[in-house]
Amino acid sequence: RGSVRFDNVHFAYDPKRPILKGVSFEVPAGKTIAIVGPSGAGKSTLSRLLFRFYDIQSGSISVDGQDIRDVTQESLRAAMGMVPQDTVLFNDTIAYNIRYGRIAASDEEMRNAAELAQIGPFIQTLPDGYESMVGERGLKLSGGEKQRVAIARTILKAPPILILDEATSALDSATEHEIQSALDLVSRNRTTLVIAHRLSTVIGADEIIVLKDGVIAERGTHLTLLARG
């Protein structure tokens, strides 16, 4: 359960400026595929298209063999979880923000997810910019801490398909290492699309796809790509 397929996908935000020019790849159920490439190559666009935030001009995108145009937005969202580059938090406790991944989760499951993502000590606080009814101000979380909330939410949700868009980019290298282990844990045996701009962060991927100027410039394992330089 959970395969993803892009078939000759063409997409442009602005018709005069194509972003994806015929992109085809498959993420087999349970495998991890990494998309790497320079900034502006269209990597994040791929994940937005998978959620149908935009419609493609031609080609097709399918999940479990079903064209996503024939799937409801609800089932699409239920099937996928994304750790985005920038996480927007709701005006509620960090605990609620994590629980949003799966409202029916128990307190214990929520706390375990918070621990795995190393955000445990903050769960009773409000995020920055918000104020409680008794006038308590929210805590100013760093970009990395917000990202950990998003990671905890996704760990709790445990969706069949996981999309990690530069998921550890806002973390310092010490926490990046530990959070990466937590992410490896959730992505094991789960269909995972990893978006990264450094090859060194996607060593374990089953296949690495290099996207450049809207086309797949290269593909292979970490070893074969390194060997080719």
Residue type, 6: F
Stretch 76-105: interaction string toward ligand ADP, x if CB under 6 A = -xx-xxx-x---------------------
Q: Which is closer to ligand ADP, CB of 42 or CB of 127?
A: 42
E strands, 12-65, are 20-27, 32-36, 58-63
Q: Which is closer to ligand ADP, CB of 154 or CB of 201?
A: 154
- Using the rule CB under 6 A, is 45 a contact of ligand ADP? yes
- Using the rule CB under 6 A, is 3 a contact of ligand ADP? no
Pull the structure tokens for residue 49.
């298209």
Cβ(219)–Cβ(209) below 8 Å: yes
**In whole angstroms, how close is the CB of 135 to ligand ADP at the nearest point?**
30
From candidates 4, 9, 19, 89, binder to ligand ADP by CB under 6 A: 19
**In whole angstroms, how close is the CB of 40 to ligand ADP at the nearest point?**
4
Q: Which is closer to ligand ADP, CB of 88 or CB of 174?
A: 88
**In whole angstroms, how close is the CB of 22 to ligand ADP at the nearest point?**
15
* Rounded-to-integer distance, Cα 149 and Cα 89, Å: 8
**In whole angstroms, how close is the CB of 44 to ligand ADP at the nearest point?**
3
From candidates 23, 33, 34, 41, binder to ligand ADP by CB under 6 A: 41
* Rounded-to-integer distance, Cα 183 and Cα 180, Å: 5
**In whole angstroms, how close is the CB of 114 to ligand ADP at the nearest point?**
16
Which strand (E) or helix (H) includes residue 175? helix 173-187
* Rounded-to-integer distance, Cα 6 and Cα 61, Å: 5
Cβ(71)–Cβ(42) below 8 Å: no
**In whole angstroms, how close is the CB of 103 to ligand ADP at the nearest point?**
8
Cβ(3)–Cβ(68) below 8 Å: no
Pull the structure tokens for residue 170.
């806002």
* Rounded-to-integer distance, Cα 210 and Cα 68, Å: 24
Q: Which is closer to ligand ADP, CB of 27 or CB of 82?
A: 82
Query: In terms of DSSP bridges, do strands 80-83 and 161-165 run parallel, antiparallel, or are they unpaired?
Result: parallel
**In whole angstroms, how close is the CB of 77 to ligand ADP at the nearest point?**
4
From candidates 3, 44, 112, 175, binder to ligand ADP by CB under 6 A: 44
How many other CB atoms sit within 10 Å of the CB of residue 50?
21
Interface ranges with ligand ADP (CB under 6 A): 13, 19, 37, 39-45, 77-78, 80-82, 84, 154, 157
